[in-house]
Amino acid sequence: MSQISEVSAKRFYSENRAKLADLLNTLGSSIDNDTMPVPKEFVKTSKKKTPRPPNANLIYTNTLNKFGLLDILREFCERNHINKQKLIPISKKLSKILWEDLPNKHQRFFSDLASKVTKEHKKSHPGYKFKPNRKDKKGTIKFYNPETQKMEPTCKPVHFQQTDTPFLYNHYQQAFEYNALDYHNHQQTIRYHEDNTPIYYQPADEINILEDSSISDHYMSSEDEPPSFNEKPLPQL
């Protein structure tokens, strides 16, 4: 919207040079003849919040609008089918362009007028402090880039050590060894004839896992090799 307003302001300036020149002459004559509004007229009051004192640019822009700039802009927007809601944005852009065409003495007038308005504002509103309206920050979605960002952990990791939790550590170790030994003993219970018919043997004696601490040694000293994935699949029992 800012770019559209700037383009419209430049187009308006080029197409209405004569009208804008007459507007600046009328404004200059009012300044020279001392018929401009007094500083007190620029100090506004409000029941909800004390308004901020206007600066030189704001006073200058509002004065141009009162001298007929908005009326000329309204005709321009209607003729070119431009939304009227863009009147104020276009007038702000246009006032910056017209500021360069204003004589230096008239520019100093608005600077001095702004200083007088500030002093008058302090008299009318003693103890005033400017407090800007802060907008509430809305949540935004941030995309994670693994090449440039590092993922931070959301919680502190917990490390289990054998010295800290001997019962839990031994429990998982014994469960792993038991599963490996159970699979090994199960493989030993089945053999095949030459015609591929199974021969069943009695399973090996059960070993007390919790009392025997040499399970891993027993497994590694077995005459049979560890089971291979290339063996024939077990028949469905």
pLDDT score of 212: 46
pLDDT tier at 221 (50, 70, 90 boundaries)?
very low
Average pLDDT over residues 156-165: 54
Whether the pLDDT of residue 40 is over 80: the answer is: yes
Q: How much is the pLDDT for 63?
A: 93
- Residues of the chain by 3-state class (helix, strand, coil), percent to 5: 55, 5, 45
The two structure tokens encoding residue 226: 């560890």
> Do residues 4 and 10 touch, judged by C-beta distance below 8 A?
no
Indicate the domain borders of the chain: 2-124, 145-229
DSSP state of 70: H
Distance CA 3, CA 100 (A): 20
